[in-house]
Structure 1
């Protein structure tokens, strides 16, 4: 019998450093209600820490059920992370139409004038393809995210802006991990509960 010189539980990560606009893909062994099998868009990363939003943890609540004056928005409200879960945040592709927005990627912006976003949605100029709402956010103190990456909790990667804004929350983790190839494709097929085989 030939001995294989591989360990499917460890992968050699490409050296991609975290920065604004990149995504964190949870490794399949990361547990917990917020981060297990999660994909996080980093909207801020620097010497003061990091901020991001979990893209694939949808709730059973619709934003127009909890946001006063918002009508007929058919998108979901996502759990952005465990920090300040009673606060509302949003990303969008409306650019300078929303004053005060922070550019995160070539076409995705974070925050800005909330009343203007509501106005654009209510007038039909924006919808779930342009805006995503989050309750709470994911946050890391200075150096904390780098430590978690070194501990193999996260894979730093990139995603197309259209995938970030429009992907199905139930499949984005598996598809994003599998797209990295090699061992990651194997990881994408691991059962959520490792006792199942």
Structure 2
């Protein structure tokens, strides 16, 4: 990818460049799915985390679990989850706005003092559209979108996934390259200067 293409992936709607990666091992917990789906979701997370060269763990010493993924049918269900409003202040108001917008997914990130990702909440409302998506595709898409703090516009026009040989869904090679490069130890855990995109593009060339 060219540097301007990398830059676009992390330039938000307000024009701010912001790229952040996880600063600690990822400890996921998934709510609202059966065991078979749970294994698919965790498998997708493990694959993307391995691609990044990052780590997963059994528990987070501060939070217990630091990646919480919720599957549900209606936004009104979330405020009824015990203690979730303590983790996500203003949850009821947020859900009301998302319901009014007919949104089917939303992600909230929390950051450490240095700006790296320390926790994330992923909310997935299984509307008719998402219910028609194969679970492997949905799981991989969510794993990709939570491994980095992408721009709010990064995948508005094009999915991070593509159809591979034999009809299998896979991560687009250039997006995989960006993930590997951003997690390279020589790069910072968080960047707010667009010059960071030049470094990411350069690392992609070296890691290819």
Higher relative contact order (CA 8 A, sep 6+): 2
Fold equivalence (TM over 0.5): no
TM-score (norm 2): 0.30
Higher helix share: 2
Higher strand share: 1
Question: Could you say which structure has the larger radius of gyration?
Answer: 1
